[in-house]
Amino acid sequence: MQENTCCFFGHRTINETEELKMKLCETVERLITHEKVDTFLFGSKSRFDSLCLEIVTNLKEKYPHIKRVYVRAEFPVIDESYLAYLLESYEETYYPEKIRGSGRAVYVERNCEMIDRSRFCVVYYDETQTPAKRKSGTKIAFDYAVKQGKEIVNVAEF
């Protein structure tokens, strides 16, 4: 676990309000200033991921030492042009070797990787958005983070 690392995960669709954006910004800034978080891990495939990236990118102007890391769930090997594209938004990217061959569970495994590497998890988990007939990747990740004893901030509860 990295003491100064935070990951983000949440539902693909969120109730995006100005209040949510403000609370999310306050949460991330508090992590930077009070908890000395300097590394933020991001996945993809959800509006929550995109919103968090926007907020951390904006805060990077004020706190240039923070680092954005994109943890890929696809493309174990990437070419220079795709790497250059990713590095326009992130300082670093990697593909966790342990998720290779995960098949349909690759996003769940990637989220577990991010959780394992983080002390803090900022999440958007709304139990009412959890499907009844299939497993929710966000619920699986949330339960895993709880089990691992991570410090969780669920911004869906604000």
Mean pLDDT per block of 10 residues along the chain (158 residues) reads 89 91 97 98 92 97 98 95 97 96 91 97 87 79 96 91
Which pTM does this prediction carry? 0.94
| pLDDT of res. 145 | 97
Contact between 117 and 1 under an 8 Å Cβ cutoff? The reply is yes
What's the CA dihedral at 107, 138, 16, 72 to 10 degrees? Answer: -20
Q: How many domains does the chain have?
A: 1
The residue segments making up the domain with residue 39 are 2-157
| pLDDT for residue 136 | 85
pLDDT computed for residue 128 by the predictor: 80
Are 109 and 102 spatial neighbours (Cβ–Cβ below 8 Å)? Answer: yes
- CATH number reported for the structural domain that contains residue 7 in this entry: 3.40.50.450
- Quote the pLDDT of residue 78: 96
**Neighbouring residues of 121: CB distance < 8 A, sequence distance ≥ 6:** 6, 7, 8, 9, 115, 145, 150, 151, 152, 153
Please check whether residue 72 is in contact with residue 99, taking contact to mean a CB–CB distance below 8 angstroms. no
Q: Give burial (CB, 10 Å; 0-12/13-18/19+) of 60.
A: middle
